[in-house]
Structure 1
């Protein structure tokens, strides 16, 4: 009867850890919860397993499940789908685009019309109305070069 209680204890620990993962997401409580659930199965299958052996086996299973997450699952989660890599970095989305200067570049600074707004630009001194290409971004300032119109 005592082994049956230990079996349920491991399942309760698993549910608490997985529930904690839902409340405070971070992925590790989930995998340790899976280890606790596996311990529930082990204690059910081997009812005479001592407490020390259970603790050591739980530590090994928790380490193995966290390692499996780190090695196999996490690399698949960390991949950013193509097209979304610059989703929240508007300036980087503009690299390669061509725009018209709405203020001349004087002493290396000016403004270009991008869509319905204006962006600060840096580059060689150029007159108003020159077509420029964005070659890089420094914070919210676009680095530009003159476009050869041939």
Structure 2
């Protein structure tokens, strides 16, 4: 079967195998080597007379360059977005600084505010129904609020 395939097809098969392994064993490493194999396949397709040694060297260079692009360009950007993701599973922490409207007045320090399609318990100074509040802190499932400026 492989004897009838052109060399560039073999590089593309290797790329698919490596990227498929990345799906099974995530970690961003095999993906970039797979991209290097795909790029080598494109090079072998564009230059059909390229020797196998030259293709192997090109693969090593392309895989290294793909990994370097990830490490020096993409990874820092992903880290910045991950640092904001520390609140990902803490929905309340994402609400600090946001403003909401009271659907129940705050009486004796307790009330409710509309958050999306639901209601959250709020604690703060007494305020009338419909007042806009700003979240300053989250305490369990209760939002600590103050009147919005």
Structure 1 length as normaliser, TM-score? 0.53
Match in the other structure for 1:108: none
- Structure 2 CA distance for aligned equivalents of residues 60 and 82 of structure 1: 32
- Structure 2 CA distance for aligned equivalents of residues 88 and 55 of structure 1: 45
Check conservation: 1:14, 1:34, Cα contact below 8 A.
yes
CA-atom RMSD in angstroms: 2.9
Structure 1: give runs of 5+ residues left out of the alignment: 90-150
Structure 2: give runs of 5+ residues left out of the alignment: 91-149
Match in the other structure for 2:14: 13
Indicate how the Cα distance of structure 1 residues 78 and 60 shifts in structure 2: closer, same or farther if over 3 A, else same: same
Structure 2 length as normaliser, TM-score? 0.53
Indicate how the Cα distance of structure 1 residues 8 and 82 shifts in structure 2: closer, same or farther if over 3 A, else same: closer
How far the C-alpha of 1:28 sits from its partner, in A, is 1.0
Check conservation: 1:4, 1:44, Cα contact below 8 A.
no
Count of residue correspondences? 91
- Structure 2 CA distance for aligned equivalents of residues 80 and 67 of structure 1: 20
In the alignment, is residue 56 of structure 1 matched against residue 57 of structure 2?
Answer: yes
Higher-Rg member (1/2): 1
How far the C-alpha of 1:85 sits from its partner, in A, is 3.6
